[in-house]
A and B are shown apart, each in its own frame.
Chain A
Amino acid sequence: MATDTKSRRATNDPLWLRILLIGLSIGFVSVLLVLPLVVVFAEAFRAGVGTYFASLNNPAAWRAIHLTLLAAGISVPLNLVFGVAASWAIAKFNFPGKSFLITLIDLPFAVSPVISGLIYMLLFGLQGYFGKTLAAYNIEIIFAVPGIVLATLFVTFPFVARELIPLVQEQGDEEEQAALSLGASGLATFWRVTLPNIKWGLLYGVILCNARAMGEFGAVSVVAGHRGSTNTIPLYVEVLYNGWNAPAAFTMASILALLGLVTLAAKTYLEWKVNQQLHDTLEPIAAEAIV
């Protein structure tokens, strides 16, 4: 009302409600997310920095880190290529089975990762469909690095594509048509117009994909077969913990958490960067004047 000097909007909720909601959110995040993270690092360093680096200084630990980075390093670029291709195909072409393809892309979200691991066992394991053939050619997939990469690929499959499909759909193809009409080749159009338009979405998808690739446990656990040589960081953490080696387990966990935090930082930086680009206003827009 006019007497109320501070203009109250219709959406201005009472103070107690605001405090309640903000408090709830912060409380949940603190207890469920921040606290465990702090505990991980606290536990890792409890026995001192020396023990921390001692448990790192161990071939098995380095093998696990190496394998994790390798699995992510292979599956993320592959999913990037697939994601761009799939989103392009889905957004810009009409073809039979399109909605079926969209559903299939979501399959890894819907299916438990353990099942995907078991399916790969069934296909490529020694007793599996292709097992004999693979054995004849001396190709190892299950209980070996290829199996881990395959399982990682499966679970991280939807991330890039899912991120890009709505983006590409929303953008339509007018800018591409404009580029073509200006004489740009198909390749030049992709590099100069399409890719810059989707780059933030693409990077975001890649970051999420990478986080999942490094952290995947279920599917990888099935195909890795609990051998020392095929442990990724998450698997190695479990092995250590089950072997009553809590300090080493938390050390490895802290490495994984650190990788996650770096990913998160990269994501935050990206978002900040995008925002900056949007608000990089030079001066207020001049009034429309034509004559």
Chain B
Amino acid sequence: MSIIVEHVSKTFGTYRALDDVSLTVNDGELVALLGPSGSGKTTLLRIIAGLEIPDEVESSAIYFHGEDVARRQVGERQVGFVFQHYALFKHLSVFENIAFGLRVRPRHLRPTKQQIHDKVTELLRLIQLEGLGRRYPSQLSGGQRQRVALARALAIEPKVLLLDEPFGALDAKVRQGLRNWLRRLHEELHVTSILVTHDQEEALEVADRVVVMNQAKIEQVGTPAEVFHHPASEFVIDFLGNVNVFHGRIEQGKAVLSGLAVGDRAARSASKNAAASETRQGHLYVRPHELEIERYLNGSPAIPALVSRINPAGAFAKIALTTNEGGDIQVDLPLERYEQLGLQTGETVFVSAKKARVFTPDYVI
């Protein structure tokens, strides 16, 4: 079922949590709302669920499959909501937790005892907790609890699955496992799902599309590859992983930044609005793996820098360097390249960019 959110705002007292946000989620899609805390992502999710009421704005609307649900209570929207801290019913067993949504149905809609039993057993198998139906939530691990919460939400056969930082309270390894499991589950069930997370890795890995949010607004919507490789703003590139920022200016379609000159398309497009001869201030963003280290100048523009720290534990060797101006640079070198160079801390090398993105402040006449 598709979800369309139009011009939704939400104000808590004087604090603006959502500022005129519009979003479309296609049928069967898994979309991640990604952003730092306070960006409004959870508020947006709760508004879609009906747990929060948006500000009264004329043009504001929420459609589920073309139907306006803005005035419907949370219980009438048929959404499965998974809370960050599970919100399992402590006094009920795992079985009864999952059965809850079926048992509270009005008598004429309520399945028979046998049907409920079958449904819950099937869901227990789906979350791989067969045989633990008689346990209480306090007897489960965090990852198991969150799977029970998911099964409980799925029991009512929701049209939409909404997950509020579902793995936020779990440790890294469990989180990774659950992430993969959720992705497989989604491929199996194809319920339209929205996942809120502040973990960019999680969003990029699990979602079909990522909605990057910042300060009550949507910064960019796109596939994981799109937002990662073609970030629409400085915020997006900064939020989606480590990045080195160089300050400088753009001259004649070339970025000249602290000795680094980049003449790629990004720089040209960034200055396309300006006259070719004009000089403008700009920021150059380079991801650590897009930087190269050379021992000697080979004619291409490079910045001299001092190797301050080397951490070769991982897929990349992480090299921290300091420039003459005192700025920090982080470079991720492939391990073979690192070994080939034989880098030592304390030596001076030259850093050049294989690829970069340039953002200039908005053009002002």
Contact = CB atoms under 8 A, between A and B. Distances in A.
Interface in A274-291: 278, 280-282, 285-286, 288-291
A288 B104 contact: no
B87 A174 contact: yes
A181 B75 contact: yes
Contacts, number: 92
A177 interface: yes
Interface in B125-140: 128, 132, 134-136, 138-140
A102 interface: no
Interface string A248-291: 00000000000000000000000000000010111001101111
A240 B345 CA distance: 94
Nearest to A278: B138
Interface residues of A, number: 26
Nearest to A182: B101
A174 to B, nearest CB: 4
A179 to B, nearest CB: 7
A174 B104 contact: no
B205 to A, nearest CB: 15
A183 B75 contact: yes
B61 interface: no
Contact of B81 (A178, A196, A280): A178
A16 B132 CA distance: 48
Interface in B70-93: 73-76, 78-81, 83, 85, 87-92
A183 to B, nearest CB: 5
Nearest to A284: B139
Nearest to A178: B87
B100 A179 contact: yes
Contacts of B326: none
B357 interface: no
B177 A291 contact: yes
Interface string B286-320: 00000000000000000000000000000000000
Interface string B121-160: 0000000100010111011110110000100110110000
Which of B87, B105, B178: most chain A CB closer than 10 A? B87
B139 A285 contact: yes
Nearest to B132: A286
A290 B74 contact: no
A226 interface: no
B138 A181 contact: no
A197 interface: yes
A181 B143 contact: no
Nearest to A286: B132
A183 B105 contact: yes
Nearest to B50: A181
Given A183-B78, A192-B104, A289-B128, 7 more contacts: A181-B79, A181-B80, A182-B104, A182-B156, A183-B104, A193-B89, A288-B141
24 contacts: A174-B83, A174-B87, A175-B87, A175-B89, A175-B90, A177-B74, A177-B83, A178-B81, A178-B152, A179-B89, A182-B75, A182-B152, A182-B156, A184-B101, A192-B100, A196-B91, A278-B138, A280-B136, A285-B141, A288-B143, A288-B144, A290-B180, A291-B177, A291-B181
